[in-house]
Structure 1
Amino acid sequence: MNFHRMSNQVIPKTRILFFLLCFISGFSWGQSLAYRTLLSGLYDGDFPTIKPEQVTKISDYQILDAREKGEFEVSHIQGAKWVGYDTFSLSNVASLDKSKPVIIYCTVGARSQDIGKKLQQEGFAQVYNLYGGIIHWVNEGKPVVSNGKPTQKVHTYSKTWGIWLEKGERVY
């Protein structure tokens, strides 16, 4: 296999070519296939995900945001409780009902999956990682808020991750 070395990382040339092709071909065709491919490489197949379109009644869930405080303050899902990632502590979730379903999210779902596994280890019965994170949530036309008011702003973690946001205003 041909590899390309970049900042001490070895990346298969085929993967680079795939993402370049998707980028060049335009986001409407390339994004969904490329994004799904990207997410499939990030997610543990044994950890349950839930897609935005499967969330019909948000009040049925305890919603947790595993991004950092500044990302949360830009926007978040209505009713979400900020729990953080680098600053995550089990004391942040001590008041939650372990028998009620939990949806945890971050930008794309990598950080939230990590925190979700910790919740499972602590006895939370139904923990779901929001498939595609807040980016996919907004791309599916679901609302986000800031200070209790609707907003179009979405913190996408970085410009690299921001390319996947089709709807809304990118904030880095």
Structure 2
Amino acid sequence: MFLNQRVFSQVRSLTFNFIKLLIGSQFPTVKEINCNQLTQLLSDSAKPRPLLLDARSQAEYAVSHIETAVRIDPLTEDLTAVATALKDRPIVVYCAVGYRSAKLAQKLDKAGIKCIYNLSGGIFQWANEDRPIFQNGHPTKVVHPYNAIWGKLLKTTYHAQEY
């Protein structure tokens, strides 16, 4: 059993790396930030706290999100609220694995909003690294797996039971 878990973990890691390459090739102008870099940015009181935008569905966001994240519809056309709320504050956008958020980051960049980063690996990577996730202001250990196929990239211990 341990060997199967180890092999599955390696397959998950390779699949994630492949997806990240695909996202990077499809959105070459989008800057990425990894989980370690975001953790450092969130804990550095000398720098402006980044605005975290969760580009997942309302159902996904309701299960859990990164603390202080604000949900934004990734299909939104009106980016005025985001543009007016920000000055020199960095924006970190994330979704389940990084595709929807990369698309939104590209849209924000084209709208003239700067200092935007896409969280590489999304909330799945964040949770898989055992980083804190929240629901209604309280710590939780579950994430919406998006669907049965994409959910395989999320460690099963983090799967929300109903989705």
Normalization by structure 1: what TM-score? 0.78
Q: Structure 1 pair 140/107, CA: closer, same or farther in 2 (3 Å)?
A: same
Deviations 1:10-64 (A, max 9, x none): xxxxxxxxxxxxx998222222122101221133233111000112132621100
* 1:26 partner SS: helix
| Alignment of 1:97 onto 2:78 | no
Tell which has more relative contact order, 1 or 2 (C-alpha 8 A, sep 6+).
2
Q: Which moved more, 1:104-113 or 1:78-87?
A: 78-87
Report the CA distance between 1:106 and its aligned residue: 0.4
1:107 matched to 2:107? The reply is no
User: Take 2:91 and 2:157, find their aligned partners in 1: how far apart are those partners?
Assistant: 25
Higher strand share: 1
Q: Residue 46 of structure 1 aligns with which residue?
A: 29
1:57 aligns with 2:2: no
Change (3 A) 1:170 1:110: same
Runs of 4+ in 1 over 4 A off after TM superposition: none
- In structure 2, the CA distance between the partners of 1:61 and 1:154, relative to structure 1 (3 Å rule), is same
Contact map agreement 1:83 1:93 (CA 8 A) in 2: no
Partner residue of 2:12 out of 31, 43, 47? 31
Aligned pairs, number: 150
Single out whichever of 68-77 and 79-88 deviates more from structure 2.
79-88
Post-superposition CA distance 1:75-133 (Å, at most 9, x none): 00100011122456324524421421100000111111111111112222110000001
Please state how far the C-alpha of 1:136 moved relative to its aligned partner.
Answer: 0.4
> Is the 1:74–1:154 contact (alpha carbons within 8 Å) kept by the matching residues of 2?
yes
Q: 3-state SS of the aligned residue for 2:59?
A: helix
Q: CA deviation at 1:164?
A: 0.9
Assess if the C-alpha contact under 8 Å between 1:138 and 1:168 holds in 2: no
Give unmatched runs, 5+ long, in structure 1: 1-22
Output the aligned Cα RMSD: 2.2
Using the aligned pairs only, state the percent identity.
Answer: 35
The CA distance in 2 between the partners of 1:33 and 1:144, in whole Å, is 24
- Decide whether aligned partners of structure 1 residues 146 and 88 sit closer, same or farther in structure 2, where only a CA change above 3 A counts: farther
Q: TM-score, normalised by structure 2?
A: 0.82
Uncovered stretches (5+) of structure 2, i.e. residues with no partner: 44-48
**Candidates 39, 55, 60, aligned match of 1:66:** 55
